[in-house]
Structure formats: structure tokens, C-alpha cells
Structure 1
Amino acid sequence: MAICSVGPYGHPSGKIGNVVFYMLNGQPICRLVGKPGKPTTKQLGNRQAMAVTMGLVGPMADFINVSLKLEAEGTLKNSHNLAVSYIKKQALTGEYPNIKVDYSKVILSRGSLDAVKDLKISKGENGLNLSWDNSLSANGASDDLVMVLVNHPSKKRASTYLNAARRADGSCFIALSEEWMLNEQMEVYLCLRSSNEKSISDSVYAGNLNGVADSQAEKAKKAHFTTMKARFDQVSLAYQKQMEGESIPEGKAFRHLEREYRMLKEKLKHLPGKPS
């Protein structure tokens, strides 16, 4: 690492060849890009956590650009940064390689406006029925706007309704235009925004509809794990029988069997698709 003095054209920023230039505590720094080694389990876990988070946040952009706008104002962060931070830190569950989203802990807005209470949700013939307690408190107004987000995880899509109703209405109907929407997994969230757009409430998780279905990727991972586990069981049985003898077996066939046994055993420890 070296410290770059500022030249007549200022100091560079970014990557040039295999050298990276950046600011660190007010000083311009440059360093060589090292060759990445084999990632640790912790690094792999962090990568999967980020991938799961980004997969969830991406389709929600239209909603969070409004729901987290006020919190992001006056800071160096934007709505996307805040959503990623909240979800990655608080709404993920499980360990690598089986990190998933706990949808009940997803945060899509934070603010001082009173959130709705006694929120209920049900599936209708062509959409969703939502209802809530429409009585007012000291920090709520009858004309507060109801924002609803319906997330469709299996399709990697989200439906956004920024003006679904008003607080005083006490209920609203969310029409779902496509038939598959009513039959696929749905995770529903709601928050309130003041009519002057100067305050917002914490988001509220309305609940899940149609249960949690495995994605195509998860199904493929489980099928692959099942195949590998079946092969390991077969190899393990043959290996144990060989080891039950009075002396350690020798020969090329046994060495191949032992090598495959150890390889499969180690691989199954971190193979995605393991039953939870």
C-alpha cells in the first residue's frame, strides 16, 4: 500500500489496471489488487445472504423508493441502501448454504406516524381483502394514505399500491390482475403515509397467503442433494463393510472407495438442499 500525493490533476479514483485508488480517512490511497484465495464458509455465507437480500429487494423498488424516502433524506444513504441493510441484518434466517428470508421480520418503512392496528387479510375471488382498526390516535389522521405491497417470492415479482385507501376507510380490496397471483405464495405488507407526504409509519406485516413454496432453484438443489445422499449411503455401506475386517484393506479398489467416501462426506456438509 502507498499514499498518493495529490498531483496537478488531483488524485485518481477507482481501478486502473491492477491498482485501486480510493480515499481513506481523508488520505488518497492506492493498493494492488490481490488474488482472491479460496473463500471461507463465513465469506460464502455473507455472499449468499447478500444474494438472497438483493433478490428480495429488487422487485420492491417502486415501493421502497417511497416508503424509505423520508428516512434517507439528509443522509448519505438512499432508499435501496436502507432496505438492504434492514433485511440483511434482521430478516434472514438459517446458516449457509440454507439462508432464507423470514418474511415476518422484513422492514419496508420506519417513521413516526402511528401504524395501523388489528390488521387482517384474506383472499377473495379476484384479489385480497385487507381491514384494520380505523380509530384515530394522537399521531394519525383520517386522510393518511394506505400503501400496500404484495410480494410474490416464487415469481421474483412484487405488486405495489401506493394509494390503496385511506386510514379512515378501515378496509380495502387489492385486485390481482393475473390468475397465478392468487395461487402463488404471497407476502403482504402495509404502511401509512400522511397526505402531505411529510411523515410515514413503520411497515406492518399483514401475513402470508398460500403458504411457502420452494422455488425452482430450491427444488433443483434438493433433488441434487437427494441424489448425492443416496450415493453417499451406498458408498458408506460398502466402506464400513470393508473396515469391519480384522485388518485394514489394501488395494486400488479400496483406496478409490475410501477417497470417494471421504469426498462425498465432506461435500454433503455444505451442499445446498439439505432438509431443514
Structure 2
Amino acid sequence: MSDCLRHVSDRSRATADESPPTCFVLLTRGYVMWYVCRSKAMHTGINESFMGFNFLKKNNNMATINNGVIGRASGKVGAVIASSWKSINYLKGLPKKRTKGMSEEQLIQQDRFLKISKFLMPITPILQVGFGLSKTEKMTPTNVALQLNIAQAVTGTYPNFSLDYSKIEISTGSYLNGGGMEAAVDNGILSIYWDTILNSLYKTKADDQVIILVYSPEKDEFMTAPTPPTRAAGTIDIQIPAHLLGGKGHVWIFFTDRKAEKVSKSTYLGEFDLA
């Protein structure tokens, strides 16, 4: 999505008797993909789920036009589909049928995208907090996370890409984190520690929330604390489910205020034996 070019159409010159038309944003690529995870996207014209993202599907619904000469439109009009997102009206061209195979460069980019998206999509609720303050007027938090992590966390060469978990970020921001943070596993318990000292300059609070994420590559499963602890707690013990014991676990942590209006950059605490 980040490389989709958006061009604002020239405003039509309105006569004295006409209302000025609404300015649309046109996505000029030959196809449009909306990224979702394990659920169907709630959007006009998008209702076919496949491999973690949805393809735009043709339909015969008539477009609706309101408010003015062009006004707000939605649905299909000829070869374009009109929709809106965050009060921005869009016209998107219908996907063209592919007549030849993908180039090697396209295959590489697709494989890189699939590698990171399969990891990030199940943790969309966490990404909405962790990246909720980043470029939200232009991109969704999940797409911001995808753009960042595809550039820095996907390693190797095609077709054998892998993820460098130490470079994955699940949040970004300038809010103060937990200082000297550590984690350890003992007898099936994951214990995490952080500093509780408050900082008046950053206006940290005792009731700041601590978001913790654990990932098991062997089971391809994520785990979080049942209830996010507070900054004042300084520690938390998390019972590791029996089916995850014996494998490896990657751990991340970040801090946010109660309203998620301030967010810290995530910290990778390391890889641990879940014993």
C-alpha cells in the first residue's frame, strides 16, 4: 500500500450556478489490496478473503451520489469504484486481469510482504495502540507497522526470507519506557521487570499501562498478560501455557498512558527457553 500512488484530480471549474465538486483521490495502480487478519473486511465491494488479505471483487451495485454535483459517492461507476476513508473520497480503478506471470522483482516483494504480514496481522489490536499516533491521517496503524518492519525485519534472500525478531517493532513513540527492563523464565513462569521511577519531564504516571507480547515460533502463537500491568507494579509473572513449554519465546514490551495518547518505542527483551 505504501507504494500506491495517489493523485488528486484537478478541480473542475464551477460556474456561478454550480456547487464546487468534491476532490477525489485516485489510486492509480492496477489493483488494490486491503490487509486484514482472519476476518472479512467491512467495506463496499470487498468480500472475498484469501491468504491473510482481501482482493477487490467486482460487483454490480450501482453507485450512490449525494451532496452536490459530485458529492460523496460509493459503489461502482463504470470502470471505477468510489469509496471514502476518514472523510477522504476515493476513486479506484477496477483490477485488470493479469495476462502474464509476475516478474522476479514482484515475486520478491510479494514474498517479503507475506512474510511480515503473517506475523503482524494476528496482533492488530496491539499495533493499533503501538502505532496509533503515527501517520493516522494517511495510513492505518497496521499499515504503518507493515511499512516499518518490512524494511528492517525481513532478512535473507528470495525465496528463503526469514524474520529477525530482534528488529521487529510493535510500537513507536517518544514516551518514556521502563528503563532497565529484564525478563527471565523459571519453572514455567515468565517474569518481567522494569523501573518504577516516574519522570516529571515526560510526565509519566504510576498507572501507565505496560504492554507485553510473547511469540512462540514453533507454535506460531502469541501470548500477552491477561490484564496489562501498570508502571507502578514494576514486575509481572505470566504463567506459560503447557503446550508452549519446551519451545522458544520472543518477548517485547512497551509503555503507554491510560488513554493511549502517549506511547513508547517497543523494546525487544530477547529470546528465552520456555522451560
* TM-score greater than 0.5 by the shorter chain: yes
Taking structure 1 as reference, are residues 128 and 79 closer, same or farther at Cα in structure 2, changes over 3 Å only?
same
CA displacement at 1:30 relative to structure 2? 5.7
CA displacement at 1:196 relative to structure 2? 3.8
CA displacement at 1:199 relative to structure 2? 1.0
* Deviations, residues 203-262 of structure 1 (Å, cap 9, x unaligned): 111111239xxxxxxxxxxxxxxxxxxxxxxxxxxxxxxxxxxxxxxxxxxxxxxxxxxx
Extract unaligned runs of 5+ from structure 1.
212-276
The residue number in structure 2 matching 1:148 is 212
In the alignment, the residues of structure 1 paired with residue 167 and residue 124 of structure 2 have an alpha-carbon distance, to the nearest angstrom, of 18
Number of matched pairs: 201
- Structure 2 residue aligned with 1:135, among 197, 213, 226? 197
The letter of the residue matching 2:167 is K
- Structure 2 residue aligned with 1:58, among 104, 107, 121? 121
Taking structure 1 as reference, are residues 15 and 99 closer, same or farther at Cα in structure 2, changes over 3 Å only?
farther
In the alignment, the residues of structure 2 paired with residue 32 and residue 167 of structure 1 have an alpha-carbon distance, to the nearest angstrom, of 49
In the alignment, the residues of structure 2 paired with residue 70 and residue 28 of structure 1 have an alpha-carbon distance, to the nearest angstrom, of 26
CA displacement at 1:153 relative to structure 2? 2.5
CA displacement at 1:161 relative to structure 2? 2.9
CA contact (8 A) 1:64 1:79 kept: yes
Compare CA radii of gyration and give the structure with the larger one.
Answer: 1
In the alignment, the residues of structure 2 paired with residue 159 and residue 29 of structure 1 have an alpha-carbon distance, to the nearest angstrom, of 38
The letter of the residue matching 2:178 is V
Give the secondary structure class of the aligned counterpart of 2:127. helix
Alignment map for 1:45-194 (pairs within 5 Å): 45-71=108-134, 73=136, 75-137=137-199, 138-139=201-202, 140-161=204-225, 163-176=227-240, 178-194=241-257
Extract unaligned runs of 5+ from structure 2.
1-8, 13-20, 22-62, 83-88
CA RMSD, 1 decimal: 3.3
**Higher strand fraction: Structure 1 or Structure 2?**
2
Give the secondary structure class of the aligned counterpart of 1:154. coil
In the alignment, the residues of structure 2 paired with residue 161 and residue 67 of structure 1 have an alpha-carbon distance, to the nearest angstrom, of 16
CA displacement at 1:94 relative to structure 2? 1.0
Give the secondary structure class of the aligned counterpart of 1:84. helix
CA contact (8 A) 1:63 1:160 kept: no
Identity %: 22
CA contact (8 A) 1:63 1:162 kept: no
Q: Could you tell me the TM-score, scaled by structure 1's length?
A: 0.62
In the alignment, the residues of structure 1 paired with residue 124 and residue 93 of structure 2 have an alpha-carbon distance, to the nearest angstrom, of 35
Ranges of 4+ aligned residues in structure 1 off by more than 4 Å: 5-16, 26-32
CA displacement at 1:103 relative to structure 2? 0.7
The letter of the residue matching 1:71 is S
Give the secondary structure class of the aligned counterpart of 1:33. coil
**Higher helix fraction: Structure 1 or Structure 2?**
1
CA contact (8 A) 1:56 1:153 kept: no
Higher RCO, 1 vs 2 (CA within 8 Å, ≥6 residues apart)? 1
CA displacement at 1:197 relative to structure 2? 3.1
Q: Could you tell me the TM-score, scaled by structure 2's length?
A: 0.62
